[in-house]
Structure 1
Amino acid sequence: MPVLEFQKNKMQNQDNNYAIGFSYINGVGRVRLNLLDNYFGNLENAWHAGKEALISAGLDNTLAENIVAHRPKIDLSKTLETLKRHDIQTYAHTDKDYPASLRQIHDYPPLIFVKGQLLPADELCLGIVGTRQPTVYGKLVTEELAESLARAGLTIVSGLARGIDTVAHTAALKAGGRSIAVFGCGLDIIYPSENHSLARQIAENGALISEHPPGIRPRPEFFPRRNRILSGLCRGILVTEAGENSGAVITANYALEQNREIFAVPGSILSPSSLGTNRLIQEGAKLVSSVKDVLEELNISLFSEENTTVEIIPENQTESLILGKLGYEPVHIDQICRECALGVALVSGTLAIMELKGQVRSTGGMNYVRTREKKEIYQLEMN
């Protein structure tokens, strides 16, 4: 077998390269990788071992056969070139740059792939997860909490999925904060594809993380496993809106097993999208109605509080009429026109100006809400 010319790529030892190879083979996780490492002395020897030697190391016959069968199909040199091309780093659980919080969980991944940069500040992070089909309420709540928490100095972690995940990442970046996305596939594959631009922004202002090597496409069974990494990175998990059997509830269950804090935003008892969050609160999750609830539960006591008020003062009669018809539940522009007895062109133009002034917000589909006049802003105090 030819000698492989490996690149260091911020790796501390060549064994990480062979750990990448084993990451392509189903059934070789943390326990078996440590078993191989201990028996053979290093993963390079384990990678080149025959079937009988693998069995002697403690693997069963099926897995040993699987390794021997798949090993010739794995081109490690090509994989390392892919990692370099996509600027993806790898960290073994023994490396100093491997997240300390992740190393604490029982089923930690032996190797992670990272695109972007992990900073010491990311030790103070919170996961925000929820349904892929959020209501307007779920979007607004997630946006407000994620933005405020990011502004307070917390790194926001989620899974880049459609819905709540996307809202949480976007809000954190909008606030000028950091965000981390945990993938259920290789980092060279953006899933869902419409979040390609968002993934790029996260990599520039945080990091993308996966336990899967390049080329591994998303599969349904990968995402529940992905969630253990998401919760393992965090001080706690905040579920803002979720159905009763959603992936967000699975993430909360992982957080419970990992002794992380669990937070949930209450919702309507009539909404299927809030069955999961309401159930979590019944079972002991911390009810969240403001950012302060999260910070206090995480025992983040060194923070200053500032209240900001957005003055919503109508400048003319048209603005006054429109504001009178808006609250915190979405109202369609057609309804505003009917109730104000105004033409659609005038109402549309006025709403556009009011949105620029921060007095109203579009929730999509030509629906609008009134902007909350008072916000609490928290900043962590630096010693």
Structure 2
Amino acid sequence: MAYLYNQRWQILLEFFEQKRMTRSIQENWLKQYDSIEEVFAKLPQSQFEKFPLISSDEKGKIRVITLLDPDYPKLLKQIDNPPVFLYLLGNNLSYNEDLTLSIIGSRHPTPYGEKVTNLIVDYFSHPDITIISGMAIGIDSIAQKKALSNNLNSIAVLGSGPDVCYPKSELRLYQNLIEKGSIISEYPPGTEPKRYHFPMRNRIISGLAKQLIVTEAGRKSGTMLTAQAALEQGRDVYAIPGSIFMKESQGCHQLINDGAKIIMNLEEMSQISHEIINSLNNHELLIINLINQFRPDFDYLQKLTRLTASAILVTLGKLESLDLIKQKNGNYYLTTKGFHCIK
């Protein structure tokens, strides 16, 4: 549930300021209640009469999600110091959290970094994948533009209010994210970007995803802070190696040295996409295993499964769309990605 942002929320923020509540105190105070409706019911009603609490899913209007709401991302709720409020533009935050990937990197990528970033997004073009980043110039924006062009869901986490496009040079991406993905921020509408906002913002980029990939990064950069946050949050962190002569790869090499998983080639992407298993039902896993064992044609597959022809067609269509199986001369075979789904 997301609520339309109006003066009611500003009054609540002012209440927190008057009580000198830090973020952690706000979090503990809210957790006394079961819902945001109950929170507002405990406060003087005269302040809120003109500003009703309205649920909304209108993409172009700013909405609010609180820690108490069922739509608040479960992964983000698990981190230390989660945002009390998320301000949202674009789609509601209803997506498969098991299939979330943050892709981050240098604001000054090399052609190699740009190429690898695009390849990563291509490789993870699963219909339920969500690509998360910060909309920054460089790797972040490259990843999110590619995600949208591949019809994937994408979430940008800003260091400003959700209605403040930063950087301004990425206005078209910002608009496309509102239309096809989501813009979120812990900062209220109208908040201008400040240098100290971005280290705080970085914990959300890592906190929203199960895995994080660093394509290129200098040793001292915001990217490294985000990667460190991901490691502390228990996320799987991957880094792309590069040339020892390129400063844009030194951060990745440091992460690998510190325990991040190295991605040596595109086949190793399959280790991450193993999460696809979680999106397959029992019938789909059955067919995956039968194709691995028998490489059957359609008729033989129907005999093996005893499913209806229509059910098998639907399942085969999904598995082909996920690039888990392929058909050759009437028989079905597993792809490289498909082999990683064998149980």
TM-score (norm 2): 0.69
**Shift in Å at residue 45 of structure 1?**
5.8
Residue-by-residue CA offset, 1:117-158 (whole Å, 9 max, x unaligned): 222335421000001011111111111112321346421100
The equivalent residue for 2:87 is: 113
Deviation at 1:18, TM superposition (A): 4.6
**Equivalent residue number for residue 26 of structure 2:** 33
Taking a change above 3 Å as real, the CA distance of residues 86 and 300 of structure 1, as seen in their structure-2 partners, is: closer
1:268 aligns with 2:261: no
Structure 2: 5+ residue stretches without partners:
278-321, 327-334
Check whether the contact 1:115–1:209 (CA below 8 A) recurs between aligned residues. yes
Partner of 1:156: 131
Matches within 5 A, 1:215-234: 215-234=190-209
Aligned 8 A contact 1:235 1:298 in 2: no
1:146 counterpart (99, 114, 121)? 121
> 3-state DSSP class of the match of 1:237?
strand
- Alpha carbons of 1:151 and 1:240: their partners in 2 closer, same or farther (altered >3 Å)? same
Contact in 1 for aligned 2:88/2:182 (Cα 8 Å): yes
CA displacement at 1:89 relative to structure 2: 1.2
Aligned to 2:220: 245
Q: Does 1:87 align with 2:80?
A: no
Cα separation, 1, equivalents of 2:340 and 2:44:
48
What is the distance in 2 between the residues matched to 1:147 and 1:253?
26
Q: Give % identity.
A: 33
Q: Count how many residue pairs are aligned between Structure 1 and Structure 2.
A: 276
Going from structure 1 to structure 2, the CA distance change for 1:195 and 1:301 (only over 3 Å counts) comes to: closer
Residues 35/177 of structure 1: CA separation in 2 closer, same or farther (3 Å cut): closer
- Match for 1:219: what amino acid? K
Residue 229 of structure 2 aligns with an amino acid whose one-letter code is: Y
Shift of 1:231: 0.5
In 2, the alpha carbon distance for the partners of 1:268 and 1:26 equals 53
Structure-2 residue corresponding to 1:205: 180
SS at match of 2:86: strand
Are positions 1:281 and 2:256 aligned together?
A: yes
Using the TM superposition, give the Cα deviation of residue 230 of structure 1 relative to its aligned residue in structure 2, in angstroms: 0.6
Confirm or deny: 8 A CA contact 1:29 1:109 kept in the other structure: no
Shift of 1:294: 3.9
Q: CA deviation at 1:173?
A: 1.1
Between the aligned partners of 2:217 and 2:109, the Cα distance in structure 1 is 8
Q: Deviation of residue 28 (structure 1)?
A: 4.0
- Show the counterpart of 2:3: 10
Structure 2: which amino acid aligns with 1:129?
Answer: I
CA gap of 1:121–1:39, structure 2 versus 1, over 3 A, is closer
Give CA deviations for 1:13-41 in whole Å, capped at 9, x if unaligned: x9866545468899744422145557999
Query: Measured at CA, do residues 378 and 136 of structure 1 come closer, stay the same or move farther in structure 2, by a change above 3 Å?
Result: farther
Deviation at 1:300, TM superposition (A): 1.9
Partner of 1:104: 78
CA–CA distance in 2 between the matches of 1:26 and 1:124? Answer: 39
Question: SS at the partner of 2:162?
Answer: coil
Identify if the C-alpha distance between structure 1 residues 27 and 378 changes in structure 2 by more than 3 Å, giving closer, same or farther: farther
Is residue 137 of structure 1 aligned with residue 112 of structure 2? yes
Q: Distance in 1 between matches of 2:252 and 2:19?
A: 34
In our comparison, the structure showing a higher alpha carbon Rg is 1
CA distance in 2, matches of 1:379, 1:182: 34
Residues 40-75 of structure 1, C-alpha deviation per residue, up to 9 Å, x if partnerless? 994676789xxxxxxxxxxxxxxxxxxxxxxx9xxx
Contact conserved, 2:215 with 2:239, CA < 8 A, in 1? yes
Counterpart-to-counterpart distance in 2, 1:236 and 1:199: 23
Q: Is the 8 Å Cα contact of residues 9 and 84 (structure 1) preserved in structure 2? A: no
What TM-score, normalized to structure 1? 0.63
Structure 1 residues 282 and 297, CA gap change in structure 2 (3 angstroms): same
Q: Secondary structure at the match of 2:125?
A: helix
- Give the residue type in structure 2 aligned to 1:110: V
SS at match of 1:107: coil
Q: Does 1:170 align with 2:145?
A: yes
2:210 aligns to what?
A: 235
Counterpart of 1:156 in 2: which secondary structure? Answer: strand
Alpha carbons 1:114, 1:207 under 8 Å: kept = yes
Calculate the aligned-residue CA RMSD, in Å. Answer: 3.7
